[in-house]
Chain A
Amino acid sequence: MTWLVLIPLLPALAFAAMAPMSRRVRTAVRWLPLAAMSGSLLMSFAAFARVWPGGGEEPVWRATFSLATLGGAPLSVGLRLDAVTAIMLLVVTIVGVCVQVYSLGYMHRDERQGWYFAVLSLFSAAMLLLVLSGDFLLLYMSWEVMGLCSYLLIGFWHEQDAPRRASIKAFLTTRVGDVGFAIGLAAMWAYAHSFDFAVVLRDTHWTVAAATLVSLGLLAGAMGKSAQVPLHVWLPDARAGPTPASALIHAATMVAAGVYLVARALPIFHAAAPWVLIFVMGVGTATALLGATLAMVQYDIKKVLAYSTISQLGYMFIALGAGAEGAALFHLTTHAFFKSLLFLGAGVIIHATHTQDIREMGGLRKTMPWTTGTFLFGALALSGVFPFSGFWSKDDILMTLWTQHTWWSLTALSVALLVAAMTAFYMTRVCIRVFAGRACSLARETHLDMIVPMAVLAGITAVIGFTSPAFAAFLGEVKGWPDLGMAVVGSIAATTGIGLGVWIYAFAGVDTQELRVRFPRVTAVLENGFYFDLTYNRGLVETFQWLTRLLAAFDTTVVDGAVNAVARGWSAASRVSWAFDGTVVDGAVNGVGALVKRAGDRVRTLQSGRVQGYQRLGYAGLLALLGLALLVPYIGALAAAACAFVALIVVGVIVVRGA
């Protein structure tokens, strides 16, 4: 089953092929990542079939690749395929293909779309590798690659200020968690002398102290990636990137990687001190509540969805805190489909109305029936309405909390029910604002190529909930159909939220503007997102800037002239670089043989004067050298092949010229 390697490799190759291309060629081959992703999708189905019917503890397939011996210890990375992996592969590839198809329509006017598709492909490769990896080291590597891709995609429109800032914020905030992750990994290596899942999770006998340290480290990484309080601040800003990228990365897959990580490492969490799991649940509860609260007051449709994602990730962490790996993964799965659906719908809406503000939208149900329909599917699923998928997975989590029956799980349960009602409320608010009422713009329905992916996701959202018992069985857990009592309680919560939303926004039961005016302090707190950004700015950024200023003052007074001049000059240099570009290549040639002259000119055209071009050429040169170095053993055969190739081209040219 070595072909499994191809699942992450295909999108990675697509990226490697596109990276050195010029902008024009990249745009021409923008379908390449989709082709690679489709291949991965087919193979993921095959992998799923191999694992079916699941239920076993042992992985179906595993492979270890020895990298090197570092400092005397063997360093190897491994892949493994088990039930969890099979499910995650399907989630990532299905959502990935839908987003890729959608993006072809969504991005088709963008000049740099080739780069977008290339990075999207690299991201898919990293995410697929993450779920396939059989040890924490490979997981960490792909984790970091995903972080890089997220940074690149958030800052895709880097000539604007907001995306650039958001990308740096996202990168730095997740980095805070990643430091914890790295410490956890180091502790893991120190104690277990291995990163392998089988060794670390099953064969190692953990002491409480070691397990606590490792699990807290991993948790820190997961909190950064999955935007848990207090590291959630980057996700609302991440909406600055292209919407389909948000759908894939910041709703469906990457942000769920933290949940996946904790789910994988749950045996270590069980071995740790008991308060660690309670802490996980506390983090999840706080995040779910905070996300839902803030989602209720946003006017930016993508920001509502971003806060909703934070809130739902909190839900998953609640499940993890209860030790219910299956429930968390089930919610991860259903959430991946309905939230990416919602984001794709939001993309279409923004495209059609040219605004992200829900106050300026309205009446889209008449002009955009398909978008309205699919978006409503997603909204109903998110609100937890039977029979849509969100109902089932949410019910799963609530039931787990009820069965555990400790004071903290019951607290979490009551908060979770409140959050469920709030979720239903804010989705009702968005839907009424956007789809109901008078049409206030000339929005038109989008093209088929963007509707189809949304329809596919909507279909999955509608039916996937019914697989709930099968899903559990596949993971090796025993679970029946939902308990009627909990289903009724959950539905009541959802209905309350919807009813309240309809009353306020459809029948204008309460004047929300008046509420804002009457409770200015509450409004201020909510509008500032509980002051997280402000606190970080005051506490960290400004301290750092103060330090920078101090050092700068030191610099200017102590170090004189040259340094400053060069710094000033370099910034000036970048300004004139453009103007200078065309003027480099000039000059007449005399007294030299024509052949040498032409060869010289050839070389000189590469010497364009653009530093980006030089770096690309250097990169190509490095690849050529690497290729050469690695192929040295086969150099004879290659030389023969090259000669044959050149001969073929020469013959071809002669034939064409002759014709």
Chain B
Amino acid sequence: MASWTLIVPEGLLLAGALVALFAEVLFPGGRRAGAWSGAAFAALAAAVSIAAGSGAALFGGQFAVDPATQVARTATLLLTSAFLVWLGGAGLERERVREFAALVLFASLGALLMAAARDWIVLLLALEAATMPAYVLMGFDRGDDRSLEGALKYFLLSMVASLLFLYGMSFVIGMSGSTLLAASRLQPGAVGVVAAAFVFAGLLAKLSAAPFQWWSPDAYAGAPAAAVAFVSSVPKIAGLFAFARVVAVLAPQTAATGPLLAAAAVASMLIGNLAAYPQTDVRRLMAYSGVAHAGYLLVGLATGTVAGTQAAVFYAIAYAVPSMGVMLVAAQYGATLDALRGLASRRPWVAWATALMLVSLVGVPPLAGFTGKLYLFTAAMRSGWVWLAVIAVVMSAVSAGFYLRIMRAMFFGTDESGEAPIAGSPASAAVVVACALAVIVVGVASSPLLAAITFAK
């Protein structure tokens, strides 16, 4: 059965995670072997994902890959691989790299399943599988109280989100008499609306969108920056993708979807962009930036059109790449604005690549961020959400301010700390540069990628 190749990437990730866990036994002496082997497995999985194609469904329709799913899965795998290369290169100056790599692979496995899930229960399980390793990653610095506190907050509030989602989901399954996403039937009236609202509330919280974004600044600010780099970016592609699936199923059945998601989008954009200004910690700043970007993504979903959904999936990728890249820089060279002072003179390549990614996050042509926003806002205008598009445009202009603060620190500040800079490795610098290149490529060659994001019906 050829269609079984669809699930080979998951198998490869699982194998990679297990190899990484026992890396010290398998590769004596190679402390970073876990990360390297994991990167290889993830890259191989990406290749399989591209080669396996799309179209078939497995397990009675609970698991299916259409072209859009394939794009989301491949992007997830490539980013995972890049992250692991960085990790193997220099990233973590500490023991337990193998554990870190294994957790990343497990989370990535959950994300892959999440993108392909076509069943409520599978979706929930995949969501949990993607989040559970993230709790551990966020609390990875066992000795650091702030890291553990952030992880605990993340865990508690994420559990609340899961419960909201589960509660809403149980209503939907009860009303439709089937656990398949496609078979979901909401009843007219209050019950259907309440069920949809609970499902959306749970997913909004997982996406760190307002009004459920509270956990993310605290969790990110406490966690090791390397963990933030992964958690804030890679699983979000699959998360957004699953969210889009759910919206596509529920939106035609209840009129409340659009206003509800639009309200969350506005709140996210306002809170994220405004609260990011006073921050001096890059992790906290990027947390609010993540909230703001969740808002842009929701603009696409709120339209309820195919174009809007496509744009949202595209933008999720266009956001994840620079978000990961910037956080990797912060992880390696310092997580506060002060620590990044004068980076341009110490590491010109890295600094220029970072600047490029930040500019993309603001949304400057011809980079990926610009193209993505263009698609999103056009879709919103076309489907009549003009006011929403206007707010989004204004807010992305506002966002330029705080991204520029990072750049100013890198290029115009002078290093006053006097600490010796961390020796960068070629591999980890290459990953940052590769992320910057990807931002350009995705931005320029956006139409083929967007065309590839087509949904099976």
Contact = CB atoms under 8 A, between A and B. Distances in A.
B214 A573 contact: no
B205 interface: yes
Most buried by B among A72, A603, A611: A603
B263 A617 contact: no
A632 B278 CA distance: 35
Interface string A548-575: 0000000000000111011011101110
B277 A615 contact: no
B46 interface: no
A592 B194 CA distance: 41
Contacts of A599: 274
B160 interface: yes
B166 interface: no
A635 B135 CA distance: 39
Determine chain A's interface SS by DSSP, over half rule.
helix
B401 interface: yes
A609 to B, nearest CB: 6
Interface in B175-189: 175, 177, 187
A603 B197 contact: no
Given A591-B405, A614-B214, A629-B260, A566 B139 contact: yes
Interface string A400-416: 00000000000000000
B161 to A, nearest CB: 8
Contacts of A517: none
Nearest to A607: B217
Contacts of B205: 618
A480 interface: no
Nearest to A626: B197
Determine chain B's interface SS by DSSP, over half rule.
helix
A601 B277 CA distance: 9
B398 A632 contact: no
Interface in A129-175: none
A574 B256 CA distance: 39
Nearest to B210: A621
A566 B211 contact: no
Given A72-B177, A576-B149, A622 B164 contact: yes
A70 B175 CA distance: 5
Nearest to A595: B274
B211 A621 contact: yes
Interface in A620-659: 620-622, 624-626, 628-630, 632-633, 635
B175 A570 contact: no
Interface residues of A, number: 54
Contacts of A69: 175, 187
A629 B157 contact: no
B278 A625 contact: no
A628 B263 contact: yes
A615 B205 CA distance: 11
A587 interface: yes
Given A584-B218, A591-B405, A629-B193, A576 B145 contact: yes
Assign chain B's interface to a size class: 35 or more
Contacts of B279: 587
Contact of B157 (A615, A625, A633): A615
Interface string B259-284: 11001100000010011111110000
Contacts of B164: 622
A566 B193 contact: no
B214 A607 contact: yes
A580 B221 CA distance: 13
A618 B211 contact: yes
B386 interface: no
Contacts of A573: 139, 145, 148-149, 151-152
Given A566-B136, A621-B210, A597 B256 contact: no
Nearest to A569: B148
Interface in B394-408: 398, 401-402, 405
Interface in A483-517: none
B280 A68 contact: no
A28 interface: no
A442 interface: no
A604 B275 contact: yes
A520 interface: no
B147 to A, nearest CB: 8
A625 B151 contact: no
A600 B277 contact: yes
Given A573-B151, A603-B275, 9 more contacts: A566-B136, A569-B139, A592-B402, A596-B401, A607-B217, A618-B157, A622-B212, A625-B211, A625-B264
28 contacts: A68-B175, A70-B175, A71-B177, A565-B142, A566-B136, A568-B142, A573-B149, A573-B152, A574-B152, A577-B149, A580-B146, A580-B149, A587-B278, A600-B276, A601-B278, A603-B271, A603-B274, A603-B275, A611-B152, A615-B156, A615-B157, A618-B211, A621-B211, A622-B164, A626-B197, A628-B263, A629-B194, A632-B255
